[in-house]
Amino acid sequence: MLLQIHHVTAGYGPTTVLAGLTLAVAAGERLAMIGRNGAGKTTTLRAVMGLATLRAGRIVFDGEDLAGLAPHQRAHRGLGYVPQTRDIFPSLTVEENLVAGLKQRPRSALDEAYALFPRLAERRRNGGAQLSGGEQQMLSVARALLGRPRLLLLDEPLEGLAPLVRQDLLRAFREMSTSLGITVLIVEQQVDEALAYAGRAVILERGAVAHAAPADELRDDLPTLERFVGMAVH
């Protein structure tokens, strides 16, 4: 397994969010993590990146225990992270934002980002603040990909975006999974689209895995979706 989360308890300050979470992600897998708000999905990604306090358990990436490693060290090990907040530099152009993600790779590598997201090529001279929400999300994902992560953690990348933009992003996610061989762990509230993209899915409840199944099976399991997520796919 590329990523192994063993009986992890984690949170922020005095607040515990993850309670004995155990989860594994295989190399090349596309795993969707769904659940109600507050179930611990975002905290799972933040714990993997070293942005939440690990109180118990182990997080192992490619055989290495990540305990004690700072977020930037985890990124250099091959972890990529796209947070809900997108975190682009609004005062920089699209191209300058992408250059910040190169991690000592040659500038010619920017072509990889433009091939995946042609809209960014059209807007390369525009400032980050001038982009639409969907374009900002594309920029955030593209910048993370330029670091050549082995595992990409996506935190609600489709949130607040128009359906056509969501489909553009999902197309890019499929392409980077198949063509680039990147393993993806996606947290998403757009349940139907997340399950259509992923090969396997887990449902979190109260900081632990409550249900796991192949994504296509879970799409048809409306009682389970209603019970744990409070909604059914369309």
Q: Does a structural domain hold residue 99?
A: yes
Contact indicator for 9, 16 with CB cutoff of 8 Å: yes
Residue type (1 letter), 227: R
Contact indicator for 200, 33 with CB cutoff of 8 Å: no
Domain span including residue 110: 28-45+78-228
Place of tokens 């250099």: 76
Q: Does a structural domain hold residue 108?
A: yes
The SS3 assignment for 142 reads helix
At residue 231, the pLDDT reads 62
Q: Does a structural domain hold residue 207?
A: yes
In the predicted model, what is the mean pLDDT of residues 13-25? 96
Q: Does a structural domain hold residue 20?
A: no
pTM more than 0.75? yes
CA 101, 50, 48, 159: dihedral to nearest 10 degrees?
Answer: -60
CA 216, 226, 154, 87: dihedral to nearest 10 degrees?
Answer: 150
For 141, residues 6+ apart whose C-beta sits below 8 A from its C-beta are: 82, 117, 154, 157, 169, 172, 173
What is the number of domains present in the chain? 1
At residue 175, the pLDDT reads 87
In angstroms, rounded to a whole number, what is the distance separating the alpha carbons of residues 39 and 28? 25
In angstroms, rounded to a whole number, what is the distance separating the alpha carbons of residues 168 and 197? 12
Residue 95 pLDDT exceeds 70:
yes
Residue 234 pLDDT exceeds 60:
no
Q: Does a structural domain hold residue 89?
A: yes
- Structure confidence at residue 22 as a pLDDT band (50, 70, 90): very high
Of the given ranges (22-36, 41-55, 143-157, 204-218), which has the lowest mean pLDDT? Answer: 143-157
At residue 87, the pLDDT reads 83
Q: Does a structural domain hold residue 137?
A: yes
Q: Does a structural domain hold residue 93?
A: yes
Of residues 88, 16, 83, the one with CA closest to residue 52: 16
At residue 72, the pLDDT reads 92
Contact indicator for 151, 80 with CB cutoff of 8 Å: yes
Q: The domain spanning residue 164 has which CATH number?
A: 3.40.50.300
Q: How many residues does the chain have?
A: 234
Q: Does a structural domain hold residue 186?
A: yes
pLDDT by residue (tens digit) across 41-89? 999 999 999 999 999 999 999 999 999 999 999 999 999 999 988 789 9
